[in-house]
Amino acid sequence: MAERAKALLVDDRRDNLLALEAILQGLPVQAVAVESGEAALKQLLTDDFAVILLDAQMPNMDGFETAGHIKRRERTRHVPILFLTAADRDAQLALRGYAVGAVDYLTKPFDPWVLRAKVSIFVELWTKTQQLKAQADASRERDAQWQRLTDLVDEAARTLRAGGDEAAGEALELLEKARWGN
């Protein structure tokens, strides 16, 4: 069964996290809510996420610093970050968000349907990426199995060429292995 996409919600205010969870209800995504940048970084050590919704202004480690850490990690640098902030359309904050690697910057209050649409796109991209990875893994496994079978058939052919009744028996044994995929 395919793994379900996850969205990491990061905001120091519990009521904002509850509102985000409500907005994402019904989407094919599991919301994982944390209340600090530090908690987000810890969560990213164990889980993979399709998208991160990150509050720009938080105490201690703000969203910009958190995003900087996320983008420096090999494992998480490609996870899209949507900044959310209550700041009144401060262009400098938006530029700062884009500079640390955000794919978008939304100011509150934002249209919940726009946020749902953006999250849906990233979930769909993540899902397709997971499907491609699974197909590539299956293809590699088939290639490896094909190589094992080819090697067994080649070994049987060499044994037959060597001649003798004993060689024919060994060759048949090798071909039987190849037949059953061993």
Model confidence over 2-18: pLDDT tens digits?
A: 678 999 999 999 999 99
Residue 180 above 80 pLDDT?
no
Better-scored residue on pLDDT, 42 or 170: 42
Of residues 32, 58, 31, 54, the one with CA closest to residue 43: 32
Residue percentage of the chain with pLDDT more than 90:
55
> Which residues is 176 bridged to in the sheet?
none
The one-character DSSP state at 96 is H
Look up the pTM and report it: 0.76
Of residues 48, 53, 57, 56, the one with CA closest to residue 34: 53
Model confidence over 161-178: pLDDT tens digits?
A: 777 667 777 777 777 777
- What local confidence, expressed as pLDDT, does residue 172 receive? 72
Walk across the sheet containing 104-107 and list its strands.
30-34, 6-10, 51-55, 81-85, 104-107
Residue percentage of the chain with pLDDT more than 70:
93
Residue 49 above 80 pLDDT?
yes
